[in-house]
Amino acid sequence: MSETAGRLRVGRRTIQLTHPEKIYFPGQPPITKRELAEYYAAVASHMIPLTRNRPAMLHRFPDGIGAPGFFQKEVSDWFPDWIARATVPKAGGKVTHVLCNDAATLVYLAGQGCITPHVWLSRVDKPRHPDRLIFDLDPPRGFSQARHAARAVHQLLDQLGLASGIMTTGSRGLHVVVPLDRAADFDAVRAFAWDVANLLIRRHPAELTVETRIAKRGGRLFLDTTRNAYAQTGVAPFAVRARPGAPVATPIFWEELDDPKLDAETFRLTNVLDRIDSADPWKNLLRRRQGLGRAARRLNELTGSD
């Protein structure tokens, strides 16, 4: 990538940033629009394989995180033609999403105030058949809750014979991600995730819940499986979050849960690139093509024996 004033050269594209010195993240030091765009250009080779051909929902803050932001699904009519997009069905119609398929697109979106792209759990060629299952662990009482819940999820997935990865969200908690072979549709995947969650609650009733009403959770961590549905999204790996300090959703090694210094915001725009260049916790993970048939049978056996 090269740059001149507000222009950034990204591959074959030249992206014009208006007001590149606009402060997107107040603080010391502040982080500008240009710095956000430069980050996405730098991380693209790691991020694009995890976002390619997935409809994106854009979390945009054109005036930085100090002002209200908004979520955007439908692609803006002024977005350049070279940006890949896909039209998919929705209730009562259709919607055309951006696809984050190259570095130039990430940089352009950053210039439009998109701080965080969120992506589908399926790809556009088979949109109703996910290749990822996500358990969203959002702790009400601190990161240690997410740490303990993630270990419990991991242990059960291992019992079911399913490989899984883990990612800090850059917000408050963790995502546990299971790669799939796209044989099952969203209804089947969500039902399986729900059954896993309920067995975990049987094992850890004082710590975990699937109760949707916050008032009834009693401080327990909500095992959220609702992302496993058509048109739902998860934060893209390596995406920056619209929070002070610009934390980044970052894949980690399972062993890193033992680090007492780790929390959901450990990795930030200012420090994550050095880590990414030296370690890849998800190397080959998402290339796994795992079916749920054998795991579902084993889950039924465990449910009956617990």
> pLDDT per residue over 126-143, tens digit each?
999 999 999 999 999 999
CA pair distance 182, 180, nearest whole angstrom? 6
pLDDT one-digit tens code per residue, 235-285: 999 999 999 999 999 999 999 999 999 999 999 999 999 888 888 899 889
> Residue 2: what pLDDT?
46
Q: Strand order in 7-10's β-sheet?
A: 2-4, 7-10, 13-16
Decide: residue 147, CB within 10 A, 0-12 exposed, 13-18 middle, 19+ buried. buried
Contact of 10 with 82, CB cutoff 8 Å: no
Same domain, 275 and 144: yes
Same domain, 58 and 165: no
Which residue, of 92, 120, 148, is where some domain finishes? Answer: 120
Same domain, 97 and 166: no
Contact of 131 with 178, CB cutoff 8 Å: no
Total domains present in the chain: 2
> Residue 214: what pLDDT?
93
Those residues with Cβ within 8 angstroms of residue 189's Cβ, 6 or more apart along the chain or in another chain: 130, 133, 180, 228, 292
What CATH number does residue 168 fall under?
A: 3.90.920.10
Same domain, 61 and 180: no
Residue 132 DSSP one-character state: E
Same domain, 95 and 69: yes
Which residue, of 67, 85, 120, is where some domain finishes? Answer: 120
Same domain, 208 and 60: no
**Span 155-173, mean pLDDT?**
97
> Residue 4: what pLDDT?
53
Residue 3 has pLDDT above 60, yes or no: no
Which residue, of 77, 98, 120, is where some domain finishes? Answer: 120
Q: Give the tokens for residue 172.
A: 């408050």
> Residue 276: what pLDDT?
87
Which of 138, 45, 116 shows the shortest CA–CA distance to 269?
Answer: 116
Same domain, 252 and 288: yes
Q: Mean pLDDT score of the chain, rounded to an integer?
A: 95
pLDDT one-digit tens code per residue, 5-35: 688 999 999 999 999 999 999 988 999 999 9
Residue 305 has pLDDT above 80, yes or no: no
**Span 65-89, mean pLDDT?**
97
Same domain, 144 and 272: yes
Same domain, 186 and 292: yes
CA pair distance 23, 18, nearest whole angstrom? 12
Same domain, 277 and 158: yes
Same domain, 242 and 96: no
Give the domain extent around 86: 1-120
Which of 119, 115, 103 shows the shortest CA–CA distance to 54?
Answer: 119
**Span 38-42, mean pLDDT?**
97
Dump the DSSP string for 137-202: EE-SS-HHHHHHHHHHHHHHHHHTT---EEEE-SSSSEEEEEE--S-S-HHHHHHHHHHHHHHHHH
Same domain, 113 and 133: no
Q: How many Cα neighbours within 13 Å face the side chain of 146?
A: 29
> Residue 298: what pLDDT?
97
Those residues with Cβ within 8 angstroms of residue 187's Cβ, 6 or more apart along the chain or in another chain: none
Q: Which of residues 130 and 304 earns the better pLDDT score?
A: 130
Contact of 252 with 175, CB cutoff 8 Å: no
